[in-house]
Structure 1
Amino acid sequence: MKGPWLVPGGPLPSWTMAVDLLLVLPLAWLLLKPRDWRARWPVSLGLAGAGFLLGRWLAPNGDPLWALLGDVRWLLLGLVVMAELWLLSGLIRQVWRARQEGNAEVVAAQEVHRVFGEGITGRLMQLESRLWVYALMRRPAAAPFPGDQHFGVHRQHGNASNQIGFVIVMGAELPIMHVLLHLAFDATVAWVVTAISAYGWLYLWAEYRATRLRPVSLDAQLLHLRYGLLIDATVPLKAVQGVELLAPRVPIPRATRRLRLEGMGRANVRLRLQAGTSVRLPWGERDTDEIVLGVDEPERFMRAVSGALNTPDAGIQGSV
């Protein structure tokens, strides 16, 4: 007896859709660059999860295969969570060993790159590890950051002071918002929204501490750009064509090839780069022609970069 899928114009069997969505697409992504499988497997799992949701939506109601897969997904989810916890425990051990004599951020980055590679997954996991390092550790930078000269970014135009103001306001409204949501809706909605808001508050707190503790650094060959939690990039000094001060209270508009690093302060230095210089950001590479940033000691920073480039100071410029 022929099944309905063998009848011309009849429905396709559910297993073909399951194979395509749960195996073919995730494996295709993984095998595009098999040498980078450590960095690509989390995205493959995400594709499989999205394929499962799509398949459940497309499959007929009561389909036995997708009902079985619905039960199996909890087992797979448990295995994924166990794997993530195992990786996280290794990261915590490495950071804990370096808490006194080393730089916890540098150690965490090395461990994340070892496990996840240096692709976009590794960069995003590094950002997540940096968040927890600065949110929870009292002394995350017991050892200096790479670089010979360091420049703070927290005092310029009240950058860190403005950030801590937002941290205080958001922290004060969290319990009030939770009570109002509990009264207006129910406990589940209140706890879900509160948990998401608490994570946002934790990010702001970590951003404030990272702004105070992570410097912009310079050595003989590289400019290390560290700004808040997000930015952790290096620019070869050979790509820097000039450095100049920006006049105070001159707004810096956004531009396609301009990278602005000012936090909640104001940019006071501009670096002119070779056209098309690539800067690695957490979400990918970006071609950049100039960088405007705010530092606490712009004159000293300009002299240091100019000295490294063996060029005279450019002076103060008022236009962009």
Structure 2
Amino acid sequence: MLALTKKNIPFIFLTIICIFWAFFYQSSNALNEYGTEQPEWLLLIDGLIVLPVLCFLCVKDKKEATIKAVAYACLIVLVGSFVIPESSKVIWPYLESLRYLAIAAFIALEVTTIFTVFFAIKASLIKEKDPDMSISEPIEKIVGKGVISSLLSFEARIWTYALFSRRIKQQYFSGDDHFSCHEKDSTQSNQFGFILIIIFELPVMHLLLHFIWSPFVANITTGITLIGLVFFIAEYKAISIRPISITSTSLIIRYGIWNPLCVPLTEIESIELNSSFIRRAGHVKRYNLAGNPNVKIELNTGNVIYIGVDSPSDFILALEKHQQLTTIN
């Protein structure tokens, strides 16, 4: 289960007031004098005064707090426009108009941030820095280190490998020994096959949905499919570029475009070959796209990592060698 933190309080409060005030305005009960007393200022105080104050009290990063306050306020105005009876709206019609201005400002801010990150990543790649650091550092400077930066790094990695994969070389990545995974069980060839299937079926699917259902549904479905296609292209390119690396202190697992996992060598209990199918489990992490993973790594924390690599025996020997050096030092 995800642990609740102070940062979660504004969202929890938002959920509670949306449910409660939707019930209050849309039902007839003793709370609203059986539908005769439904003033809009009740939701206005909770949603546009108390909620933004909670954002600034519970979120340390003031930029993140501001973004959340504006986003939540816009959401409250949207909810209010649906649940508050028309006869009770006095200020709300004006707020509905201002909502679009706030959304436009929010989009402008995010687009500016995206372009700033884009050029920072491009400049870092030219300097031949570790590509993962080139992507994550500019983002973390703007939004800080956390869940949001991890999601943005993942998204930035998709576009980086889709557009700039030729500028990224395996030797740029941190690590003493690098191992690939794209040739195992024809992993990259299978990905290319999926890409071709998507490209060939896309126009057929669009035309069928356009004439059988509606042009709107066809456009939405095609747009979502194109986003998925970008993901597959980025994954196809990244799987052969981003290596699984071993440093003097840790194992860095990079697999496709997913965020890297850094495992300290001191946490590795045992490592061995594997040939069996591995089911999903809470204590199991799987890094494998085709066939069964061929390396099993047990950690002293009780977790187990399964990886599919091109040269499993060489990988195990190199990892054990670095473990021995770590023990000696």
Q: TM-score range by the shorter chain?
A: 0.7 to 0.9
TM-score by length of 2: 0.81
CA distance in 2, matches of 1:252, 1:294: 12
In the TM superposition, 1:213-224 aligns within 5 A as 213-224=241-252
Q: Given the alignment, which residue of 54, 57, 63 partners 1:31?
A: 57
- Distance in 2 of aligned mates of 1:30 and 1:120: 18
Q: How many pairs were matched up?
A: 292
Matching residue within 77, 83, 86 for 1:58: 83
Partner of 2:155 in structure 1? 128
**Residues 138 and 290 of structure 1: CA distance in aligned 2, closer, same or farther (over 3 Å):** closer
Aligned residue in 1 for 2:272: 244
Larger helix fraction of residues: 2
Given candidates 151, 169, 173, the residue that maps to 2:201 is: 173
Q: How far apart are 1:98 and its partner, in Å?
A: 3.2
What is the alpha-carbon distance in structure 1 between the residues aligned to residue 174 and residue 205 of structure 2?
Answer: 42
- 3-state secondary structure, aligned to 1:75: helix
Structure 2 CA distance for aligned equivalents of residues 239 and 137 of structure 1: 35
Aligned: 1:139 with 2:166:
yes
- Report which of the two has the higher share of strand: 1
Distance 2:296 2:32 in 1: 68
Shift of 1:66: 2.4
**Shift of residue 185 of structure 1?**
3.1
Unaligned 5+ segments in structure 1 are 277-288, 312-320
Q: Say which is worse superposed, 194-203 or 51-60, in terms of deviation.
A: 51-60
Change (3 A) 1:38 1:121: farther
Kindly indicate whether the alpha-carbon contact (under 8 Å) linking 2:158 and 2:234 is maintained by their aligned counterparts in 1.
yes
2:243–2:254 contact (8 Å) kept in structure 1 = yes
Q: Is the 8 A contact 2:292 2:308 kept in 1?
A: yes
Instruction: Please identify, of 223-232 and 197-206, the stretch whose mean Cα deviation from structure 2 is larger.
Output: 223-232
Matches within 5 A, 1:45-194: 45-61=70-86, 63-103=89-129, 104-142=131-169, 144-194=172-222
Please, which runs of 5 or more residues in structure 2 have no aligned partner?
1-30
The alpha carbon displacement at 1:179 in A equals 1.4
Residues 39 and 73 of structure 1: CA distance in aligned 2, closer, same or farther (over 3 Å): closer
Cα RMSD over matched residues?
A: 2.5
Q: Distance in 1 between matches of 2:33 and 2:318?
A: 77
In the TM superposition, what is the alpha-carbon distance from 1:243 to its structure 2 partner? 0.9
Q: Displacement, 1:13?
A: 2.6
Cα distance per residue 1:102-139 (max 9 Å; x no partner): 25543121101111111111111111111110111142
The separation in 2 between residues aligned to 1:53 and 1:264, in whole angstroms, is 45
